[in-house]
Structure 1
Amino acid sequence: MTDQATPIFGLHLWLVLGVSTGTIFVLLLFLLSLCFFKHKPNNKPIKPQTLIPITTTPQLTNINNNNNILTSGIEKQALLLEDEPKIQVVVGPEVSHLGWGHWYTLRELEDATDGFAPENVVGEGGYGIVYHGLVAATNTHVAVKNLLNNRGQAEKEFEVEVEAIGRVRHKNLLRLLGYCAEGAHRILVYEYVNNGNLEQWLHGDVGLCSPLTWDIRMKIIIGTAKALTYLHEGLEPKVVHRDIKSSNILLDKLWNPKVSDFGLAKLLGADRSYITTRVMGTLGYVAPEYASTGMVNERSDVYSFGILFMELITGRYPVDYKRPQEEVHLVEWVRQMVNERCLEKVLDPKMIEKPASCVLKRALVVALRCADLNSEKRPKIGHVVHILESQDQPSSKERRGVGDSRVAPHGSPSVESNEKQVTYIGG
């Protein structure tokens, strides 16, 4: 029946039915598409309802700061206020993306330190004021260093130091957690160490007896030497600290040292033996060649370490004009006492238990060697760690009390070592 012809152009009935069905299907699709586009929401660009800002200012206190990051140049971000459909422009700080660490907002650090309250100050110097803070979001105690000089060259150094030092990880180095760079503010955020610094325990009011026993002092000096070994020998480019001193050695409750304050640190590539820079540091700790020429390398840190070692043993400042003329400069006085074999006189009188004479002799000779006027004669700091850690296994000469601790010519003790023992050779 479907094969019979129809009046419609003489077509067969089955063909007419197929064409009609297809036409109806196409019409239905067309009608459905019209309905769909008619009820579709307006797809014109709309203003954002929320903003995750890239930068922030203290005035925008209602903005979520958790996802803030630094960006290059001046970034303009549009903010749609919830109560009115107009755009507010936020201008961020002119700081390059540092690419590392957590960026703390100024508001976070103000809240953490109670508005940088004076009662939260835990230290200050020529480069900034350090505050104790508590970051509420993570319930973390931090040390917040508000840098005072934040213009010109200091801006460049701030970026270099955050980029380089921020990745440093060592148990005897104070960890840099992050930073803040908003407007003119440049702030570094460190882990908080809760037992003060070495200067306070050596020179502060601790009573007639110091809690720093000989073993604790050796623990502090070895930990400091290990931190410097990591900076000098474990990193590329190596890092020269330039300001090793007792106030920069922080201590935890177990007397573990943390070397802090990389504000003067300089990077030294493998192809450079020295860098020339403006002389900066602390009186008494600065290496003589650095003070006279401005050239600094890792041997400059070794000199400062030697002075620190003598300060730890004697409980005296590196330079003390209140003392008799021959005792003003610590390194010269210690050298004289060693030459005259008056070793017991150099010990901190507040230290109750005295070390064995052979142990004291070794420590003094190593300290003097580190503070040699000739930088080429100073040992590498890694070698110093080996010598100090081997002191619990004295050589046969030391056990017999035969060692000679006289200072060699040019003001330097002569030290020879191998993996089994350390012996002293008279000058």
Structure 2
Amino acid sequence: MILKLAVLFLLLRRSSVALQEDDLGFTYNGFQGVNMSLDGLAQITNNGLLELVNATKQQKGHAFYPHMLHFMNSSTGSVYSFSTTFVFAMFSKLTAVGGPGMAFIIAPSRDFTDALPGSYLGLFNATNRGKSSNHVIAVELDCIKNMEFDDINGNHVGIDINDLKSIESTPASYFSDQENRQVNLTLFGGHAMQVWVEYSGSQRQLNVTLAPFDAPKPTIPLLSLNIDLSPIAVDPMFVGFSSASHAFDVNHYVLGWSFKMNGKAKELTLSQLPKLPRLGPKRKSRIYSIGIPVIGVTLLLVLVFIIHLIMKREKKFAEVVEDWELDYRPHRFKYKDLYIATKGFKDAELLGTGGFGKVYRGVLPTSKTEVAVKRVSYNSRQGEREFVAEIVSIGKLRNRNIVPLLGYCRRKGELLLVYDFMPNGSLDKFLFDQTTTEMKLNWNQRFRIIRSVAAALLYLHEEWEKVVVHRDVKSSNVLLDKELNGKLGDFGLARLYDHGTDPQTTHMVGTLGYLAPELFKTGKANPSVDVFAFGAFLLEVACGRKPIEPQASEECAVLVDWVISYWAKGRILLTVDPKLGMDYDVQEMELVLKLGLLCSHSIPTVRPHMRQVVRYLEGEVPLSELTLVFLSAMNNLCLVS
């Protein structure tokens, strides 16, 4: 019986202790005679202020309630509700710069020996910040903008979990119920302010409220974050404050502190709080107290502004130049020159926009040469060296029917290709933009352009030192000089390989309507795919229609199928561009239409080589012979169908 009573007594006593711990609270209206666990610069002054750091530079200070607290509800596994409020003041001798601030913290240990001062607030270092094993919950009052931690400004309040990158932060301010508006505050001005940190275990919500020393607690919190602290907290933990000094003379004080577990922290008696020391030297004349600081700060800001402009300018024109590019320097343009040439890539200099980038007109600052600059996004580093090597190799192409690629510039995942400027723009504008009468092309001009593009492709496929596959032959990539001569341009997608070898499988790129059907199976870009696209281009020029018109009826949507249907009816000339009227050479038109269908044949082996195409267009082979070849190709198409 005695044993049972003893066990019951111990259980009741343990329950009573647990209840006391669960509902623990303390209130310090000043710290005179208070038992606090202090380290670093932290000390209690003679009048009862808790001073975390003083003017000693690059140091840190910590102050903790000396006993560990049980934050975890063992029966539910969740964190108890808790509430705390404290009054603080931070002073910086540089009135425009606050330096690092301070933080209220909940941590499993008081040992922050390895933590760094300065921007790290005496909480973490470069190796342990961000680790879930820290189990640190903090509310930071930060007075410096640190880019490393993505700080929003140099005067903010943030909620930190295991890291100094706040998961929620906002500029220091408070909601004035009297004025019904948000009022800004300066954390480092040396004025006392009060903070309330409240966590609801049932709602899993953490609220942080800030207000001036003599203002009532605002009804609207400054920060309100829905967060479950159970995965972060361990049991038991310490509560306290951490602060750190930097290169500036700073003083951080806590005037009073109240804490309550499972309830609302008791309000501080503000009249009993210790007085802050007089901050700064004795009052001097206005020229010393106002003039010199203003001049100094102004000079500092001007210096910072100048440095910022210099750094911004350097960053703006920064380029990526690697050792392997040294061989290509004669072909490489400076980004700064291209930026100046295009007036900062302004929309006013925009010549056109395609699927692979925008093209701008520019005038090179030194030579005053007119150029066209195409910006191509190129984010993948795989094969980048080979890609640039091919671009430079293609830049060696020299043919009067090809727009010269003058060089390139590589910068921040972007490739800029520089071409000769063609004053009359691209052919597609003349074919499809009929807003002015000057934009019309007669048949003789169109036929001359067709022959120029054919000669350009023959040069690329057979006459240069390597086989070049353009991969994007279309009217928008045919540019016109001031005499309306056609030149094949835009080699941003081109690929090249040695004569007598097979092309490697590559990513399928190009424009819908010009893509050869075998590309969808093999992905190999060989000259035959350019021939297919050239066939679509021939029909485009002759018929004045795009290869695919999604808004047209089903029988008219695909240009090749539409022309074949008219050929089958023996009325192929009815597909001629109505804008030409009857002003064209019938034999030349029939040649172009049949050659377009032949080149666009779905069977690659049926398509002619570009040398054959040029012979047809130059009249070296009679139309009757082309007609026989064409009829045979159409029969093959019917058999396949």
- The TM-score normalised by the length of structure 2 is 0.47
> Structure 2 vs 1, CA of residues 269 and 60 (structure 1 numbering), >3 Å: closer, same or farther?
same
Deviation of residue 101 (structure 1)? 3.4
Equivalent AA in structure 1 for residue 418 of structure 2: V
Identity within the alignment, %: 35
Match of 1:181 among 410, 416, 431: 410
Residues 347-393 of structure 1: CA distance to partner in whole angstroms, max 9, x if unpaired?
101114432333322221111111111111111111111110117x9
Q: Is the 8 A contact 2:424 2:480 kept in 1?
A: yes
User: Quick one: which of 447, 453, 466 aligns to 1:224?
Assistant: 453
Q: Which residue of the partner structure matches residue 320 of structure 1?
A: 549
1:421 aligns with none
The answer to whether the 8 A contact 1:338-1:405 is kept is no
* Maintained 8 Å contact 2:606/2:633: no
**Matched residue, 1:423:** none
Q: Do the aligned partners of 2:493 and 2:509 also contact (CA within 8 Å) in 1?
A: yes
- 1: CA distance between counterparts of 2:563 and 2:508? 26
In structure 2, the partner of 1:411 is 634
Distance 1:256 1:368, change over 3 A: same
| 1:390 paired residue number | 619
* Total equivalences in the alignment: 325
What amino acid is aligned across from residue 116 of structure 1 in structure 2?
F
1-structure distance, mates of 2:481, 2:469: 24
CA RMSD of aligned residues (A): 2.9
The corresponding residue for 2:482 is 253
In the aligned structure 2, how far is the partner of 1:404 from the partner of 1:135? Answer: 50
In 2, Cα distance between equivalents of 1:240 and 1:387: 21
Query: 2: distance between equivalents of 1:282 and 1:409?
Result: 28
Name which of structure 1's ranges 114-123 and 267-276 shifts more when overlaid on structure 2: 267-276
CA 1:357 to 1:126, structure 2 compared with 1: closer, same or farther past 3 Å?
A: closer
On the 8 A contact 1:150/1:186 being kept in 2, the answer is no
Task: Tell me if 1:138 matches 2:367.
Answer: yes
- 1:195–1:251 Cα contact (<8 Å) kept: yes
Alignment of 1:132-211 (within 5 A): 132-153=361-382, 155-182=384-411, 184-207=413-436, 211=440
State the secondary structure of the residue aligned to 1:159.
helix
* 1:121 aligns to 2:350 (yes or no): yes
Which residue does 2:54 correspond to in 1? none
Secondary structure at the residue paired with 1:189? strand
CA distance in 2, matches of 1:331, 1:281: 18
Q: What SS class does the counterpart of residue 415 from structure 2 fall into?
A: strand
SS at match of 1:224: helix
The one-letter code matched in structure 2 to 1:408 is L
User: Counterpart of 2:576?
Assistant: 347
Q: 1:101 to 1:353 in 2, by over 3 A?
A: farther
The one-letter code of the counterpart of 1:411 is M
Q: CA deviation at 1:173?
A: 0.9
Q: Which runs of 5+ in 2 are unaligned?
A: 1-310
Partner of 2:473: 244
The CA distance in 2 between the partners of 1:315 and 1:385, in whole Å, is 22
Query: Is contact 1:203-1:315 (8 Å) kept?
Result: yes
How far residue 341 of structure 1 moved from its aligned partner, in angstroms, is: 1.4
1:110 and 2:333 correspond:
no
Distance 1:149 1:70 in 2: 13
| Distance change >3 Å, CA 234–CA 384, structure 1 → 2 | same
Q: Which amino acid aligns with 1:181?
A: R
* Higher RCO (CA-CA < 8 Å; seq separation 6+): 2
Higher helix share: 1
Unpaired runs of at least 5, structure 1: 1-56, 74-94, 415-427
Aligned to 2:586: 357
Contact 2:342 2:360 (C-alpha < 8 Å) held by counterparts: yes
Deviation at 1:113, TM superposition (A): 0.9
SS in 1 for 2:418: strand
Change (3 A) 1:222 1:410: closer
Partner Cα distance (2:627, 2:404) in 1: 41
Deviations 1:71-99 (A, max 9, x none): 743xxxxxxxxxxxxxxxxxxxxx62243
Counterpart mapping for 1:276-287 below 5 A: 276-287=505-516
Q: Deviations over 1:137-169 (max 9, x none)?
A: 111111111222243236335412322111111
| Residues in 1 aligned to 2:312 and 2:408: alpha-carbon distance in whole angstroms | 16
Q: Which has more radius of gyration?
A: 2
